[in-house]
Amino acid sequence: MRHEHSKILHSYWNTLRRDRAAPERTEIEPVEIRQILGDTFILEVSPRLRAIAFRLAGTRLCGAYGRELKGLGFLAIWREEDNFEVAKAVSRVYRDYQPAMLTFCAQSTSGDEAEFEMLLLPLAPAPDGNSRILGVASPRAAPYWLGAQPVVANRLKAVRFLSPKVAAPPLAPAPAREEIPAEIDRQAGGRRVAHLTVLEGGRS
């Protein structure tokens, strides 16, 4: 990882989890990562809804996209052709407790691009059965237009998985890995990607 924000969050997450596969959501203290809070977010993965959505998102991140991201479907910010790879990466993070690094180009309304680095870190499952992912996304060099022109799509460049510094067993037996179909289901106003349903307007 190159960006200082990614290094800060990874170090904090690793300190919290100690010898476990992942820390609890309740252990996160925003004040302890205040210098990167504007770029951080939490995703919620709902097995019942078969969807991933932003549960929380920092102000700088929302400003870059020109909208409130809370409640928005995570895959909705990516190009449709990248949804399959992004969904696979997210699945590995919360099922196998494997941190992931995504490199992507954020595209503005005028076609300008800025390269971003996104780190996804697993959190322990919530009592309601939903999975949570802690993340941070920051531009490698902030362009003049960022914040003035909203980002309308992310173009995925690369996905890399990180090995935790301390070997830890999973919190619960991970389901057997399945081949993720490339099938896109457009029924019920959504698109099916892997085992998730993409709702362009977020959750109702």
- Predicted confidence (pLDDT) per residue in 43-100, tens digit: 999 987 789 999 999 999 999 999 999 999 999 999 999 999 999 999 999 999 999 9
* Higher per-residue pLDDT: 48 or 102: 102
| Assigned domain for 204 exists | no
N residues, the chain: 204
Sign of torsion over alpha carbons 170, 30, 37, 150: positive
| Assigned domain for 203 exists | no
pLDDT at site 183: 32
> What is the distance in angstroms between the CA of the first residue and the CA of the last residue of the chain?
35
This prediction's pTM = 0.81
On average, the pLDDT of the chain sits at 84
Average pLDDT over residues 15-43: 95
Residues 135/40, Cβ–Cβ less than 8 Å: yes
Q: State the amino acid at position 172 in one-letter form.
A: A
* Higher per-residue pLDDT: 50 or 178: 50
Within 10 angstroms of residue 64's Cβ, the number of other Cβ atoms is 25
Number of domains comprising the chain? 1
Domain hosting residue 79, numbered range: 4-198
Above 60 in pLDDT, residue 201?
A: no
Least Cα distance to 102 among 186, 3, 173, 14 occurs for 3
| CATH code: domain of residue 118 | 3.30.450.20
pLDDT at site 175: 41
- Beta-carbon contacts of 1 under 8 Å, excluding residues fewer than 6 positions away, are 7, 10, 101, 117, 119, 162
Q: Which of 43-47, 159-163, 183-187 has the lowest mean pLDDT?
A: 183-187
Q: How far is CA 146 from the centre of its chain?
A: 20
Within 10 angstroms of residue 24's Cβ, the number of other Cβ atoms is 15
* Higher per-residue pLDDT: 45 or 180: 45
pLDDT at site 192: 52
Average pLDDT over residues 161-189: 45
| Assigned domain for 190 exists | yes
DSSP conformational letter for 173: P
Residues 24/58, Cβ–Cβ less than 8 Å: no
Above 80 in pLDDT, residue 40?
A: yes
pLDDT at site 48: 78
